[in-house]
Amino acid sequence: MASLLTVGILFAATWVSLLLAKLVTRPVAALAQATREISMGHLGHRVDISATDELGDLVSSFNSMASDLETSRIKIEQSTLALADTNTELEQRRRHIETILENIPPACSLSIRKSAWPTATPPSDGCSAPSGHRDARLEPALHLPR
């Protein structure tokens, strides 16, 4: 009878230890799988294991981290699209300015002086300031200072 009781106690102890081991290994295995999923770029993957101990805290922290990563990825993608749009707009403006500059008659030139910003210079043959307007900075472009 004592040996039957011993076998029963050993069986119960083994069963309880396997149950406790499963309670620990199941969340750890789920975290390992979720880590693989996230490393492959599936940032929407979450761990759906309910635990109330430290492993539960770890699962909760992991899910929070995955959510933050997903939010950051979305913000980066939105910023990339906005930057691409801005670059396209700037390229269009640059082309527009180049077209304008290519169509300026060669009779008009820039006068560069040390004391003033570059200004349009009215030569004697057609490129003049608006009527009634006289700017003291406008003068013939004879040479560029060295």
CA–CA distance from 90 to each of 43, 84, 85, 86 (Å)?
A: 33, 10, 9, 6
The stretch 36-65 carries a mean pLDDT of 90
Q: Model confidence over 97-137: pLDDT tens digits?
A: 999 988 887 755 555 444 445 555 554 545 554 555 454 44
Question: Over the stretch 9-42, which tens digit does the pLDDT of each residue have?
Answer: 999 999 999 998 888 888 889 999 999 999 999 9
**Structure confidence at residue 115 (pLDDT):** 47
* Structure-token pair, residue 129: 């300031």
